[in-house]
Structure 1
Amino acid sequence: MDDYSCVLCHLQLEETLPYLFFAHPFSTLCWQILGISWDATLSTAELIVQARQRFGSHIFREVAIVAC
């Protein structure tokens, strides 16, 4: 049986791209330091639009790309 649990943490959550980029404890800490917050209850498109609006700077895209 294949195990897709995240090997970087012990939360036993499936290692998906949205989890790794937006919800993983390490990535969450990085986003907090940068002042970007993600609402994981939204679709990916809505999540990005809302985070950009909250960030309040025209360089949101550049900051997010460099962070990724």
Structure 2
Amino acid sequence: MMLMRHWQIKEGSDCVLCSLCTIESRDHHFFACPFALSCWDLLNIKWDCSLTISQRFLIAKGEFEGPCFMEIVVCAAWNIWKERNELIFQGKVPSFSRWKVRFQHDLLLHQFRVKQSVVQPLLDWSSTCFT
């Protein structure tokens, strides 16, 4: 992503979250990187990378069996991004366990932002997802 922004970074433009030597792009970073795939697998969200981004979201949302699809996706992606940035800017090795704790924390904060009718389903989904 840094390459696309014309920023020069000494490590190059390969994804820092995996060892595939793949150029960091939106599709790789959020949908194909093994680190991201582990995150999506935990949440039982599957992405078809052969589709456009809009189609990808529509299909994944249709197959998702939990509540608040977009809130969950945003929390997951945000925390994947934070793992990347902590490695680049602070030298912290990416951690699936740390991602999971942060995701759960952020998702629990969403209970105060979503409709009251989906708070309990969101909490129930979260508790079954992380047991």
TM-score bracket, normalised by the shorter chain, equals: 0.7 to 0.9
Three-state SS of the structure 2 residue aligned to 1:39 is: coil
Question: Root-mean-square deviation (CA), in Å?
Answer: 1.5
| Greater displacement, 53-62 / 38-47 | 53-62
2:27 alignment counterpart: 18
Percentage of pairs with the same residue: 34
Length-normalised TM-score, structure 1: 0.86
Inter-CA distance 8–57: structure 2 relative to 1 (3 Å threshold): closer
1:53 partnered with 2:62 = yes
Determine which structure has more spread, i.e. the larger CA radius of gyration.
Answer: 2
Which structure 2 segments of 5+ residues have no match?
A: 1-7, 78-131
- Gaps spanning 5+ residues in structure 1: where? none
The structure whose residues are more often helix, as a share, is 2
Number of residues paired by the alignment?
67
Give the Å deviation of 1:18. 1.5
Structure 1 segments (4+ residues) deviating >6 Å: none
